[in-house]
Amino acid sequence: MADSEPDILTEQDCPFCHKKTLTMMEQEREVPYFGKVFVFSMDCSSDGCNYHKADIECAETHEPSKYVLEVTSEEDMKVRVVRSSQATIKIPRIATITPGPASNGYITNVEGILNRIKVQTEKLRDEADSPEERKKAKNMVKKLQKIMWGEDSIKITIEDPTGNSAIISEKAVKSKMK
């Protein structure tokens, strides 16, 4: 089944700036080995607002789930990741991405997740007040780069009480959330 054409509504009221500058999009997509999902997004084009919200919802109901992937090679960077806004991503000694009101759902790959963390870490490094904070962030960026080049390994865990998230790989271990 091919992805559907997105349904797009423009010039909607933005919930933050209240201008008619919000674009809402909904699209049905087929994610191989996972199934049909609905991708939703809202984007405000008003200067100074730039509100954005995105999420993913499965067409079928899933049990709360936990996926664990041992990332050991550069090839693992291509592993597909589906994350709903309700999911928590844990990477021990590196980062935890938690759900919250500003949390977004997305479809990406392992490299995309690591790049998100790397960009945030680089920002922290550049804005750090102390040399210790800068050094710590600089070392974290180096570690992330080594992982992305396949020179170091990590474990990525996604826990989703809605079951709308997954790590799509034969290497990923799926279990029920406790």
Residues 47-97 have pLDDT tens digits of: 889 899 988 887 887 889 999 999 999 999 999 999 988 999 999 999 999
CATH topology for 62-178 is Jelly Rolls (2.60.120)
Each domain of the chain, given as residue ranges in start order, spans: 1-60, 62-178
User: Which sign, positive or negative, has the C-alpha torsion 26, 64, 69, 100?
Assistant: positive
Query: Is 0.75 topped by the overall pTM?
Result: yes
Q: Is the pLDDT of residue 134 over 90?
A: yes
State whether residue 41 is helix, strand or coil. Answer: strand
C-alpha count within 13 angstroms, C-beta hemisphere, residue 72: 5
Is there a contact between 4 and 21 (Cβ–Cβ < 8 Å)? no
Q: Which pLDDT score is estimated for 2?
A: 60
Question: pLDDT band at 102, cuts 50/70/90?
Answer: confident
Q: Which pLDDT score is estimated for 55?
A: 87
CA distances from 48 to 17, 21, 147 (A): 9, 12, 36
